[in-house]
């Protein structure tokens, strides 16, 4: 049986339509994956051969509402359990409270491998940039970005590092940028990473979250 774990969007995320679902998979046999946003399915099943890898759906249309996002084995019977599901994903007809624009590697040489040559985990840095909805009734004061390590086979998700930034006015936009250093497993394809950003107002009330997968 194949394994699949959704990378984005995750539970409690707010996104815009159409929704593109990204997931990791591992399989010992050929299978076709199809992602769903509520009752609306990806327009095509995506074939995968025996290996571990990353799956990206075609954009899935959705009206403004709250959905469960699923990754399914397209060959399984209609009543079969999904390979993974993420409930309480909000699709907005406007602008999400916070949006992740990019996850990039900062310029300069890569850091020295911790543990010496051949070590599984190395120190890595990512710069996560984005913006916030400038029209929220309670403005975003700051964001916290968490790096989450995801194990595809077990669907375990663990926060391994975090950073924060205050939101700054740049013209008519409200932008932020967080640099996070963390230990990345560079040898195991079944361990992958996402950046997850939550926006907060001045009273520390959470206003919204968004998640973005980034390759090793």
Last residue of a domain, one of 92, 110, 125: 92
pLDDT, one tens digit per residue, over 20-29 is 999 999 999 9
Closest CA to 38 of 156, 151, 15: 15
Quick count: other Cβ atoms within 10 Å of Cβ 31? 21
Do 105 and 85 belong to one domain? no
* 164 and 144 in a common domain: yes
How far apart are alpha carbons 165 and 201 in whole angstroms? 12
**Residues sharing a CB contact under 8 Å with residue 208, sequence separation 6 or more, in sequence order:** 14, 96, 97, 98, 198, 199
| pLDDT for the residue numbered 114 | 59
Predicted local distance difference test score (pLDDT) of residue 119: 63
Question: 193: number of CA atoms within 13 Å, CB side?
Answer: 25
Predicted confidence at residue 102, as pLDDT, reads: 98
**CA 98, CA 139: separation in Å to the nearest integer?**
11
Cα–Cα distance measured from residue 197 to residue 101, given in angstroms and rounded to the nearest whole number: 11
Q: What percent of the chain clears pLDDT 70, i.e. is strictly above it?
A: 95
Do 159 and 10 form a contact (C-beta atoms < 8 A)?
no
Tell me, yes or no, whether 107 and 197 share the same domain.
yes
Q: Which of 62, 92, 122 is the last residue of a domain?
A: 92
Q: How many Å apart are CA 145 and CA 202, to the nearest integer? A: 17
**H or E, element range at 26:** strand 22-26
Domain boundary, last residue among 92, 127, 162: 92
210 and 108 co-located in one domain: yes
Max mean pLDDT range (45-49, 96-100, 123-127): 96-100
Q: What is the model's pLDDT at position 191?
A: 95
Q: The domain spanning residue 141 has which CATH number?
A: 2.60.40.10
55 and 124, same structural domain?
no
What pLDDT, on the 0 to 100 scale, is given for residue 121? 87
Sheet holding 22-26, edge to edge: 3-8, 22-26, 52-56
Whether residues 86 and 72 fall in one domain: yes
**Cis status of the peptide bond prior to 9, with omega within 30 of 0:** yes
Residues 15 and 78 in one domain: yes
Instruction: Name residues whose C-beta falls within 8 Å of residue 191's C-beta, 6 or more positions apart in sequence.
Output: 149, 150, 151, 152, 185
Q: What would the mean pLDDT of 138-154 be, rounded to a whole number? A: 97
Q: What is the pLDDT of residue 165?
A: 98
Better-predicted residue by pLDDT, 95 or 114: 95
Distance CA 80, CA 76 (A): 6
Is there a single domain that holds both residue 129 and residue 86?
no
pLDDT tens track for 51-90: 999 999 999 999 999 999 999 998 887 777 899 999 999 9
State how far the Cα of 175 lies from the Cα of 187, in Å rounded to an integer.
34
162-200 pLDDT, tens digit each: 999 999 999 999 999 999 999 999 889 999 999 999 999
Same domain membership, residue 157 and residue 73: no
pLDDT at 117 over 60: no
Q: What's the predicted TM-score (pTM) here? A: 0.93
The partner residues of 35 in beta bridges, in order of sequence, read 71
160 pLDDT above the threshold of 70: yes
What residues have CB less than 8 Å from 12, skipping those under 6 apart?
Answer: 88, 89, 90, 209
Both 72 and 131 in a single domain?
no
Q: For residues 78 and 9, state if they share a domain.
A: yes
What's the pLDDT at 54? 94
The reported pLDDT for the residue numbered 115 is: 56
pLDDT at 112 > cutoff 80: no
Q: How many domains does the chain divide into?
A: 2
On whether both 66 and 149 belong to a single domain, the answer is no
Under 8 Å between Cβ of 211 and 195:
yes
Q: Which domain holds residue 64?
A: 3-92
CATH number of the domain where residue 38 is located: 2.60.40.650
More confident residue, 114 or 130: 130
Say how far apart CA 216 and CA 153 lie, in whole Å. 18
């Amino acid at each position: 049986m194949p394994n699949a774990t959704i990378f984005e969007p995750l539970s409690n995320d707010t996104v815009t339509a159409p929704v593109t679902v990204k997931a990791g998979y591992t399989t010992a046999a050929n299978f076709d994956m199809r992602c769903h946003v509520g009752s609306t399915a990806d327009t095509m099943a995506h074939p995968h051969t025996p290996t571990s890898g990353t799956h990206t759906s075609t954009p899935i249309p959705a009206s403004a509402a709250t959905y469960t996002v699923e990754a399914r084995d397209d060959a399984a019977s209609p009543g079969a359990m999904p390979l993974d599901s993420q409930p309480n994903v909000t699709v907005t007809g406007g602008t999400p409270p916070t949006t992740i624009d990019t996850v990039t590697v900062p310029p300069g040489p890569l850091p020295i491998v911790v543990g010496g040559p051949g070590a599984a985990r190395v120190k890595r840095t990512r710069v996560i940039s984005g913006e916030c909805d400038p029209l929220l009734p309670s403005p975003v004061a700051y964001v916290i970005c968490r790096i989450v390590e995801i194990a595809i086979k077990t669907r375990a998700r663990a926060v391994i590092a975090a950073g924060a930034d205050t939101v700054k006015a740049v013209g008519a936009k409200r932008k932020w940028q967080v640099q996070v250093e963390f230990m990345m497993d560079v040898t195991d394809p079944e361990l992958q990473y996402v950046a997850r950003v939550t926006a907060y107002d001045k009273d520390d009330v959470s206003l919204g979250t968004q998640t973005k997968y980034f390759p090793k």
